[in-house]
Structure 1
């Protein structure tokens, strides 16, 4: 049944209201075309977007809005044919303004038919989406850039909600933990990171953000690995999102362990090498008590052939002297074994002066016979250091032996060994000689490996000394000595020694 026509006044009012509605849509170009594609209606939005006033564009063909390339391809008429066939279609394509500039448009073309089914024309709605598409493209590029960066980040990346439930699991995380992303989505991140304190009675992750902490990662096969955890946060659509970066420290720890092993090996080899350079003087030092023991025992043996009361007393004295010399030889041997022996680094409280004296006894073997004067200046005997005794004695022996060699051809031979209180809760140890001093050409790299002033030296001694001292949180350096020669100084953390 055909609806009754509206009264003329009502129809006019409806048309006016419809025109106001269309003109009010200033963000949309809304216009009508006749069946041949000529403009018949043009709203204010079309004027704003395309630049033509209504009086300029009415009656002109819609091809004026297309690019020259589209016109040559017959697109204006083809679009109308398509709209007539499909009833309505949408597309995004480039259009022209009156000034010749182009813009990316969202275009909707609708075929309009009368009650008899005859084509009356087309309605077109066009929206300028250039800026919108530019922003979308820029956003997409940024997203792709971020994704490409995250794909190459070696650290595992785990995204969680505020309760710690996993919502994203990167490829690096899959490699580190051995899980596919699908297998962990929805699980709490704490099930993968042992020792992770989510904090709060509700188990929230509020305490995780900001600080870097050490955790233990749990792989799918049940094995664990040391890891470093850093967490950042953001808010998206009103929801708090956390991103955890997990760095697998397995290789770093393995490398550090190997480095410590190599350092220990090098330090041990250095001690053995130092013993090799002292071999002749050590033989001399040990030969003295052994020769004395032999002499005392042979004398005692001869006196016991036909002893008198006086001979028995002399024999007792000879045996006592032999025992004393054997103790002296034993002390030398024990000191050598302690010096050469390899063991774990064990830093503890040590009386500094006693430590230096013991090292000096070993380092100065044979020095007195060469005419070298030894001066020792010590701080109070109650002063102690936190150190590994054997390693610090190795440093001292190395410095003392270097000083003795530096004075081998010097007419003035004075070796000074001193201890003193330094600033910042440190103790200072100095070994100074009266030799020729440090050549300027090597002064800046004196403690570098393979830098040596000795013709047959490998240049590892002072480098190892620096490694040992820095491992004790001290420092080592050299200065010219007063009156000529060189002075080597090093510091150690001060700690009052228990002198009983």
Structure 2
């Protein structure tokens, strides 16, 4: 607090804190004079002293600038009130408690603090009233204590308050009263003015005047006995009445003063000058200082006409005055000079008033005409600009008076619509040149606008001029209605859009033609911008890529490419825009595109570039090469097969010749072995070596005969003879083929595992040819296992029953598997992974054998290494006679 009342209140709070501290020290030091100042009176109760001390310290801190927030002071006040309420109950229920009256005053002081610091000014009058009651009661108690001293012969009463507590509460109440009244009267005080009128300065004393009078009466003229209860209640009622009247009067004075200050500030902001009879300035408002630049100190006492170099406006005579019926008010336009030399044109209103000090005073209310003149100049300039714009854009500005039907054109803009001047003078002449169908449509629109009381109506119609030409007109108009809702006039614009309509029609025709071309052209078309975003997606592109135009427009074109090219596309585009070096534009490219389902297909891409209005786009025409490449591949494959067939035919002839030549020595070998068997049989020798030799000769003869049979079958196969289909046991055929493969291969340490399906014991096939297939597959497996450790080489031969009464054979190994290029061309002729030593026709012959049996042959790599070859043959059942 910086006011005198604030500093006085802070002093009261400080004194109260010192009194409470002295009482508490008396209890701590056990020094009775500090606990009670009058003999025979009760000592101050420590809890009440502590409560008063806490409240006093809080108020001292709150009175200091930025020492304690107001909300915290209010919280402390609430806490002290709660403690006082508890002490009051204790003092009334227990004889060891303190004075109930003292506890009640502490409760009121806490409530006052809470109300005062919770809000700024709204609770200040209420806090002032409660503080006045506390002071009045404390004064009355203090007077009673003085009256009851031994000097006056009185006796101490039970309601007497301990003197220290009484003084502390009196000081706290006085400080709170000063603080509350200071905040209540804060709005009355002018800015920077700390002085109040004398009646306002005495407000705190007047609020406690009834208690002061009663206390003085008790001390000076009263009896030793305390006054009656009625006198006490009367004093409190008088305090409330006086305080309420004072605060109500203060609030009213404050509102009036605030209103007057607002009016004065408002008037002071306006340019107002007061002059005496000699024309000297006796009042110069802040508005005048802002308008002319002269301060009040520079203007007061000067003649206004000389200070401002006042002169009439050119073209306006002094007779151009305006006055009211009494002839008192006058107004005149002047040109006056500001402090910086600038010219200010003003409208001055003069009014004569009488003043006690200066006699007749002229009050001059000045209006700056500068903004109005600038606005008029701006309007004129705007009209000129509007006319220029109307001429540039062929805009006719009109007003239609509905009652008279008259059409008025702003600045004769009627010819801007291609209409001769004076052609459209009223509504009837306008209807004569408007197309009948457009006239009916405009009439319906106008009726709908009037019915809905629309503020605006749009215009669109065609005019047929006398020379036979047709003009297309568009525009809008603002509608005005009377109180009854009837249309009285419209103001709007008409724009000649004939050229635009023709261009739009031509553009629409070209767009329709282009759309028709794009919808029928077989190549897909995609248009992108410099950021790679798709701008256009033709129907052919939708069919080719499987995307709809709505889904891809706005997306990056990379979604139509495979990963390899799509990730680099934006970089290629940025490099071209930076360097201008063309790589694709104007040159056909073979690329791989991506379908909506994720599949990839080959395309041929032609890219073109277009630049328009600082925009650059790229157009791509895309052709699907899948069908063409398939055709080319089929042609290449057919050519290759024809070549291979020639080679196979040649090989067939060679095989036939070899079979013929080899059959003769094989037959001779078989005959010689048979002869050796006969000789051995004729010799009755029981030597074990003789028996072994005989068995070996017999096995050799069987294999020689079997080799001859194979050669015969091969010759029959090459000669395209029918195969010898019979019901053969599956397991026997497999084990015979395995034994043939393992002859001379034991050194490879290969183990053969069999997994034969018991439900498929027989096959309907040529046993020799199927064994030829098995032998070829197992020998290929042996070759693959050479790269595997000896103790890990395994060949697995398995069969299983398939649907349709077919048997599937499979030969698997755990070798390194087949490379993908080999796997893709596995069954083509002269394709081998064994090097130059192999002709590469073994698997081809195997596939031909399987296909001749109506089966299929395939190959695949195993998941955990190695490869598996599969082929199918028909299954069979042996009859009882064949067992």
State the TM-score, normalized to the length of structure 1: 0.43
Higher normalized helix content (fraction of residues): 2
Give the strand-richer structure, 1 or 2.
1
TM-score scaled by length of structure 2: 0.26
Structure label with greater radius of gyration: 2
- Structure with larger RCO (C-alpha < 8 A, sep 6+): 1
